[in-house]
Amino acid sequence: MHGGRNYPFRKVPGCLDIELADRAGDDEYLSLLADALPRVIVAARPDLVIYLAGADPHERDRLGRLSLTFDGLARRDSMVLDHCREVGLPVAVTIAGGYGDPIHDTVLIHVGTARIAARYSGPHP
């Protein structure tokens, strides 16, 4: 999932490419993610998920072109980690992107991702 008009302007097509319009917000993004995530996991049959938790979809990011709120990004992180846990997949979380204005926004997003990921670091209840 990415901003359709964002860099790189010539994209290498993937197995499932979900292009979002400029300024797409929480509801649209999370709805598309909820629909695509289970299908992607089933199709890929991974042994490990590498989750690039980008901060660039944030509404005040200078380059990202999307409009997710802090809450929307936290819900995205939880949705990905919840689903992976439900199907028994280990996840490596990396921070990615983020050109917030102010930069403090990017830091808050990445710290939020780390805090959410930490809640999933123990054994499954």
Could you give the dihedral angle defined by the CA atoms of residues 114, 103, 20 and 52, in that order, rounded to the nearest 10 degrees? -30
Confidence of residue 124 (pLDDT cuts 50, 70, 90): low
The rounded distance, in Å, linking the Cα atoms of 110 and 105 is 9
Confidence of residue 125 (pLDDT cuts 50, 70, 90): low
- Kindly state the tokens that stand for 57: 């979809």
What mean pLDDT, rounded, does the chain reach? 93
DSSP assigned state of 15: S
Backbone region of residue 98 per phi and psi (left: phi > 0; alpha: psi in -120 to 50; beta: other values) = left
Percentages (nearest 5) of helix, strand, coil residues in the chain: 40, 20, 40
- Kindly state the tokens that stand for 18: 């979900």
Q: Is the pLDDT at 17 greater than 90, yes or no?
A: no
Query: Residue 2's pLDDT is what?
Result: 84
The percentage of residues in the chain with a pLDDT greater than 70, rounded to a whole number, is 98
